[in-house]
Structure 1
Amino acid sequence: GPAWRRAWRMAASAVPAARPDPRGRPGLRAALAEHMRRSRGVSCTPDAVVVTRGIGNGLDLLAATVLRPGDRVGVEDPGWARARTALLARGMTPVPCPVDEHGLVVDALPADLRMVYTTPSHQYPLGGVLPVPRRQALLAWARRAGALVVEDDYDGEFRYDVAPLPALFDLDPETVVHLGTTSKILSSDVGVGWLVARPELAAAVARRRVDLADRTAAVSQEAVRLLLERGDLVRHVRRMRAEYARRRAVVTEELAGLPLVGDTAGLHLVVSLPPGRAERVAAEAARHGVLLDDLERHHAGPVRFSGLVIGYGAVAGRAELRAACALVRRLVADELLADDPAADAERAAGEPAVA
C-alpha cells in the first residue's frame, strides 16, 4: 500500500553503516521491542533483540550458537518441515514429538532434549492454541531438563474469538527464545524477522552471526522501522485482522458440517478426513486452480492426522474464497461418497441417497 511504498522510498536513502551491527540496526531493535510489548505482551529491551531474515534464519542462527552436532532437538509432529531441515543441516537430530488438537503434548517430551521447537500460538499445521496449563508444564519441563524452548510466533497477531494468549517468552525469558517474522503481516519478500532472548544469549547469537557472514538487508530493516515508528504497521495489522476474520467466517460458513480444526487463530484451518483422501482431493482441486495442502505430508514419524490444510491469507478476495470453498465441499463430498456402497447403489438406481 501507500505506507509501504513511502517507507521503502525513504529507507532507500539511508546511509549504509560502515560496520553493520550483527544484532540489526539499533532503531529497528528499539521499535521491535516496543512492538513486542504492545502486541504480544513481551517485556524486553533492545539488547535482547536480534534482527533476522525470518523464522528459519533465526532458528538456524540459534542452533549454530548453542547446539553441537548430534544434539537432540524436539520438533512438533506433525509440524513445520523447514524447522527439521534447518536442524538437520546443522547436524542436529530432530526428534518428532506428538501434538494433539491443543498443541504440543508436554507429557510425551523426552528428558534428553537440548531444545524443543514449538508453535504455541497456532500450532502448525493442526492449528491448536497451547492452553495455559500446558504452557506452564512446558516451562517446568524445560527447567528440569536444562533445555531451551524455541517459540515460533509466526502468526501470533491473528486470533479472532478472544485476545491472544501472552507469549511464552514473557513467562520465562531465561528458558524461552522467541522468534517472530513479518512474512504473515507484510510479505515473505520483506525478509525481516526477529529473535528475542535473554541479552547474553542474544549477544552470543550476534557474535556467531559474524562468523557465519549472515546479515539482514539494511533497506528492509529501515523500511520496517519506519512502518513501526509511524504506526503504519499497527494500523495495517488491525485492518488485516478484521479482513482475515471475515475470510475465516466465509470458510467456516461454506464448510459448515465438515470436521474443522484450528479455526480460532491464524490464517489457515484443517478439514479432517479419513487417511488417504486428502491427497486425491488436493490433486483434483489443483486441476481447478485451487491449491490445498495435505496434512499427512507434515509428519516426520507415523501419520497420525489426515486432512486438508486450507489457507486463506493469500486469496485475492472473499468472492474467490467462497467459490474455492464450494469446490472443496463438493470434492470432499464426492470423495467420501466414492467408497459408500449404499450411495453407489442408490445413484445407480437413479434415486437420491438418504442420510
Structure 2
Amino acid sequence: MPINETLAGYSDLSFRSAFLVYVLSFLLLIGQYASARVKQTAAKEMVNAGPAAGVPGRLVEAPRKPWSERLGNMGVAVLVVGVLLHLASIVLRGFATERFPLGNMYEFVTMACAAAVLVGLTIMRGERFRSMWVFLIPPVLVLMFLAATVLYADAAPVVPALRSYWLPIHVTIVSIGSGVFLVSGVASAMFLLRMRHPEGSEASGIWGRLAARMPDAQTLDRLAYRTTIIGFPLFGAGVILGAIWAESAWGRFWGWDPKETVAFIAWVIYAAYLHARATSGWRDTKAAWINIAGFVAMIFNLFVINIVVSGLHSYAGLT
C-alpha cells in the first residue's frame, strides 16, 4: 500500500504545531491562574463638562474585564485552535496511510490526548473550571512529547493481523476512554489537594496557594465522578470488543495476555471507584485515591506492558 509522504509530512507538522499552540495556551492560562485573585476596579466614570452655564453630563464607561478573565478567554481560544490542529494531524495521518490512524502507540497516544482535550472543552465550560486546564494540559503535553519522540513511528501500513474492521472499532473506543480517564484522574488529584488545603490559604505555602485558585472540592469531586461515568462504559465496551476480535483473530476470547489482564484490572479498579463513590465512608478521599490508582494502571498498561513485557499485543505496540 503506497504512503502519501506529503500528507504524512503535513500530519507531523500539524502535530508539532498543535503541541506549540498547547504550550502557548498553557502559558496564557497560567497567567490567568496567577492573577485570578487580583482585585481590580469595577468601573470608571468619565465626567464630560457641559456648556459653561449648563449642567455637566456624566458618562459611565463600561467596566473593563480584569486581566485574569481576558487571559483565560485567550487561553481557551488558543486551546481550541490547538485541538483543531491536533485533529487535523490525526485525519491527515489516516489519509496518508489509507487506513484508520490507530495502528501503533504514537497514533493511539495522539488520539487519547485529543480525546482528553475535547472532553475537557465539552465538560469544563465556564470560568469556574478555567483553573483546571493548568493541571490538565501538562500531562497532555508530556504524553504528546513522548509520542513524538520515544513512541514515534513513520506513516506506514499496519501488519496483516491488524487489517481488520475491528481495529477502528476496538482501538478508537479504548483510546477515547483513556482520554476521558485522564480528565478524571487530574480532577481527583486536584480534589485531594483541595481537601488537604480546604481554605486555600495564600500563606500556607505553594500547595496552599495552588489550592486557593482551584474550584471547590465538591465541584472537583463531581467532575471526576461525571467523567468516570462516561469513561467506564466506553472502556468496558472496548475490552469486550477486544475479546470478540481476539476470538476472530486468535480463536479464543480471553487468554490472560498481559495487555488483556492489566486492562481488566484497570476496569475493575474503576468499578471499585464507582462503588466507593456511592458508599458512605468511602465517598471522599478514599474513593479519589482509587480513581487515581485506576489511572496509574492505565498508564502502566500503556507504557510498561506495551514496551517492556512481551505479549500478543507487542507486535504493533497497540494498546
Provide the TM-score with structure 2 as the length reference: 0.25
* Bigger share in helix: 2
* Bigger share in strand: 1
